[in-house]
Structure 1
Amino acid sequence: MSSLLAGRVAIVTGAGRGIGRAHALELARHGAAVVVNDYGVSLAGEDTGETPAESVVAEIEAAGGRAVVNTADVADWDQSAAMVQQAVETFGGLDILVNNAGFVRDRMLVNTSEEEWDAVIRVLLKGHFAPLRHAGSYWRDESKAGRQRAARVINTSSGAGLQGSVGQSAYSAAKAGVAGLTLVAAQEMGRYGVTVNAIAPVAKTRMTEGAFDTSEMALPEDNSPIVAWLASEDAGDVTGRMIEIDGSLITLEDGWRHGESRDAGGRWSAADVGPALRSMIAAAPAPEPVYGA
């Protein structure tokens, strides 16, 4: 075992399979005690009766690590609060939150139902907010009590949220929301010793296998070393960043920036807007292409 995360306590959501499982195993390998969260449902959100978190905990314990099962619905307010409390009561605190739990309802926008939209936004966006809110409250209280922790949050966005993805309007909107949440949380929570970053991982998982050609895609575990470092005390000077990971390639995303501008010197007339915007567009870099366009 590595000592990079020795003595630290982590929660990893959606950790029963795929990328989340790889994160949980990697954090444990570096010495962290891990709350392995997985709701145990199918891609369609249906109860399967499976308990994949138990298998991951067994793997961690067989390798000499410490872990505990959690089956909370991370988008449920009270269950998320109890998950944070479980980490504190079981392992004596909480230092790392990896928000990874995922959910898809891929449809072209005009075919997306209200129920599908609500379900995706609930799991992906509220499922990031609720654990972050409760963990943040714990870290704020610890800081005010003179026990400030070197806390780390790693959220999970996506290229779909950064550049958009045809056929994934709800998923793209939710993942863009995660990126915005990351920026705000990094600024608000820094005073309590918390860094908040996000990754945009690429990997062959059960979520991607039905939607894309995954033959050349990276493996889930290829993303986890970046998460392990971001979760370490050494990463205290890195916050509010989005890192895209595609196998051996990591990219620091540039995000929205103020670009070309024009000042009319007074209230714009509608007739002048078109020429001004077209001149700005002509002078600006072309946007990244939408996936699937």
Structure 2
Amino acid sequence: MGICDQRVVVITGAGGGLGRAYALAFAAEGAAVVINDVRTEAAQAVAAEIEAAGGRALANGDDITSTAGAQRILDATLAAFGDVHVLVNNAGILRDRMFLSLSEEDWDEVMRVHLKGHFCLAGVLGRHWRAASKAGRDPQAAIVNTSSGAGLQGSIGQSNYAAAKAGIAALTLVQAVELGRYGITVNCLAPAARTLMTESAMPDMVKAPASGFDAWDPLNVAPLVVWLGSTQARGVTGRCFEARGGELSLADGWRTGKIRDKGARWDPAELGPVIAQLIAETPAPQPVYGT
């Protein structure tokens, strides 16, 4: 008996890297897993790996960046397993450039896969779970979104990716508040692991060690995602976790800081000392990645 027995999980970008690690971990805990990836052969290989170990899996290559594609994913999931409980939005791409070198296509493609991909599938599944809730059934559903340290702190050469990932963190906060009434928890994760994206961006940093603990192994992040998708995590929502190796933390996002209230309109010329005092009294932000 695993902590996800009888749960049905949809994972995007699950043909490799973190998505594959999540799929294997969910299956090991008793879940049926839908392996969504545009790389259909990779998705089929992961599904076959799960089935060979005695688990239940379905490979799926539908497009997550359209509502029609998202609906096909839901329909295929219900046809195969009869229900769905968890969505892990994991799929992503990189189009790294310094900001002034970004093309419009570089920007649009990253936003489409990351932000729109999160929107479409969560919307389709969310409406499915809302209908179940209104019919008197408790869906006990969970959405796990994928942000990034780049989205939380910024990253040189990744302004498009960082903006998309910051948007996902904010989306998570709103979804958690709006969807909670329907029995849906929503959390996000900023993982650090060896994937196709990180190997292309920082190959030396994420290289597996010759011996000892491999802190960049994607399987290190999977236990947290599985727990968030289980019924044990029903009381946790609207949170952003960071995970790498054996490290786990909760990100503490933007908060309203110290306030100086004049009680009247400020004159621009008098703002210098006031802002200097506010900066002095406020913790410095974490450095942007790459600085």
TM class by shorter chain equals over 0.9
Counterpart residue type for residue 286 of structure 2: E
Give the distance between the partners of 1:139 and 1:273, measured in 2 at CA.
50
Counterpart residue number, 2:264: 266
**Aligned ranges for residues 21-40 of structure 1 at < 5 Å?**
21-40=20-39
TM-score computed with the length of structure 2 as normaliser: 0.95
| SS of 1:102 mapped into structure 2 | coil
Give the distance between the partners of 2:71 and 2:272, measured in 1 at CA.
50
| SS of 2:2 mapped into structure 1 | coil
Give the distance between the partners of 2:115 and 2:60, measured in 1 at CA.
20
Cα displacement string for residues 112-150 of structure 1 (whole angstroms, at most 9, x for unaligned residues): 000110000000110111100111000000000111211
Give the distance between the partners of 2:32 and 2:206, measured in 1 at CA.
32
Counterpart residue number, 2:164: 174
Counterpart residue number, 1:236: 234
Give the distance between the partners of 1:128 and 1:274, measured in 2 at CA.
41
Between 173-182 and 264-273, report the one with greater CA deviation.
Answer: 264-273
State the Cα distance separating 1:197 from its structure 2 match: 0.3
Give the distance between the partners of 1:137 and 1:253, measured in 2 at CA.
29
Give the distance between the partners of 1:30 and 1:144, measured in 2 at CA.
29
Between 264-273 and 164-173, report the one with greater CA deviation.
Answer: 264-273
Counterpart residue number, 2:274: 276
Deviating runs (4+, > 4 A) in structure 1? none
* 1:108 and 2:98 matched: yes
**Aligned ranges for residues 53-72 of structure 1 at < 5 Å?**
53-72=43-62
State the Cα distance separating 1:53 from its structure 2 match: 0.3
Give the distance between the partners of 1:4 and 1:181, measured in 2 at CA.
27
Give the distance between the partners of 2:264 and 2:25, measured in 1 at CA.
57
Counterpart residue type for residue 180 of structure 2: G
Counterpart residue type for residue 112 of structure 2: R
State the Cα distance separating 1:272 from its structure 2 match: 2.1
**Aligned ranges for residues 19-168 of structure 1 at < 5 Å?**
19-40=18-39, 51-168=41-158
Counterpart residue number, 1:13: 12
Give the distance between the partners of 1:203 and 1:209, measured in 2 at CA.
9
Give the distance between the partners of 2:46 and 2:289, measured in 1 at CA.
33
CA RMSD for the aligned pairs? Answer: 1.0
Give the distance between the partners of 1:39 and 1:219, measured in 2 at CA.
23
Counterpart residue number, 1:292: 290
State the Cα distance separating 1:276 from its structure 2 match: 1.4
State the Cα distance separating 1:211 from its structure 2 match: 1.2
Counterpart residue number, 2:207: 215
Counterpart residue type for residue 196 of structure 1: V
State the Cα distance separating 1:273 from its structure 2 match: 2.2
Equivalenced residue count is 283
Give the distance between the partners of 2:78 and 2:271, measured in 1 at CA.
56
* Residue ranges of structure 1 left out of the alignment (5+ in a row): 41-49
State the Cα distance separating 1:263 from its structure 2 match: 0.6
* Residue ranges of structure 2 left out of the alignment (5+ in a row): 209-214
Give the distance between the partners of 1:286 and 1:142, measured in 2 at CA.
46
State the Cα distance separating 1:214 from its structure 2 match: 1.5
Counterpart residue type for residue 161 of structure 1: G
